[in-house]
Amino acid sequence: MRVRDALDREVQLDGPARRVVSLVPSETESVAALAGLDRLVARTEYCEEPAGAIESVPTVGGTKKADVDAIVQLAPDLVLANQEENGRRDVERLIDAGLTVHVSFPCTVAESLAYVIRLAALLGVPAPAIEAPPRRPGAARVFAPVWKDPWMTFDGRTYASDLLAHVGADNVFADRPRRYPLAADVADAAPVDAGERDTRYPRTTLDEVRARRPDLVLLPDEPYAFDETHAAALRDSGIAARIDLVSGKDLFWYGLRTFGAVRRLQALIGR
């Protein structure tokens, strides 16, 4: 079994992966759905799905700081990691220890579905019949923050932005990369060269949000737990848009969740 991962490495297994350590919450959910919980020998503290069952799988730290020594001792057939979510040094140490590590980095709906096919191959199970949903014409101009103090969102190079495009929503920050330093993002300071730093998550102000004139604001419950108090604060700031609370998992978790997320977000946008 051979697949290529996001680092353009060939990941090879002699047979189906029976002992899997997943360091990515959405990938943990996908493994459980494709092959069952018995394939998972460890997960991170943030791997919460499938709720009510995943709790039986031991944890090995967080997504940014995994317990590498504990993972090595488990002798897994396969470790699942993500280029963005997991600490680079942890991934390098796992590879150096001789473990088979698959690193993912899907940034579009199509790449998410391609990941599912690769994962099914590594697990030795039939790949589900999947087809990328067609993009719907933009019916709503959407602002979806991921953090506050300062407010942060995502540009058009992210999975969440592509997902919104498929369900008929135009990300109002699609063309807005992150600028360094902070004062260049939220004020009029001159930006500096970002180098190799990630520029897909701009920091912003509510003044800029108003200027981009969204007609829908989606407040996810993760990675920042937005709630009705934040919705009220946005209304009080003069943002004239419909504001809905939404599952952060549906916006940001790729893999098998993509199918249900598309349906749920289409219904929300259509409403």
Full-model pTM: 0.94
Residue 177: pLDDT band by 50, 70, 90 thresholds?
very high
Last residue of a domain, one of 123, 150, 169: 123
Residues 93 and 191 in one domain: no
CATH assignment at residue 219:
3.40.50.1980
| pLDDT exceeds 90 at position 139 | no
**Is residue 87 located within the same domain as residue 158?**
no
Count how many domains the chain has.
2
Q: Are residues 171 and 251 in the same domain?
A: yes
* HEC assignment per residue over 81-134: EECCCCCHHHHHHHHHCCCCEEEECCCCHHHHHHHHHHHHHHHCCCCCCCCCCC
Q: Which two tokens stand for residue 45?
A: 């503290």
User: Does 42 share its domain with 90?
Assistant: yes
Report yes or no on 245 lying in a domain. yes
pLDDT at 269: 87
Same domain flag for 58 and 159: no
Range 20-38 average pLDDT: 97
Confidence of residue 236 (pLDDT cuts 50, 70, 90): very high
What is the pLDDT of the chain when averaged over all its residues? 94
Higher pLDDT, 104 or 133: 104
Of 157, 122, 114, 129, which Cα lies nearest the Cα of 22? 122
Confidence of residue 58 (pLDDT cuts 50, 70, 90): very high
pLDDT band at 64 (very low <50, low <70, confident <90, very high): very high
Domain range enclosing 18: 2-123
Would you say residue 134 lies in a domain? no
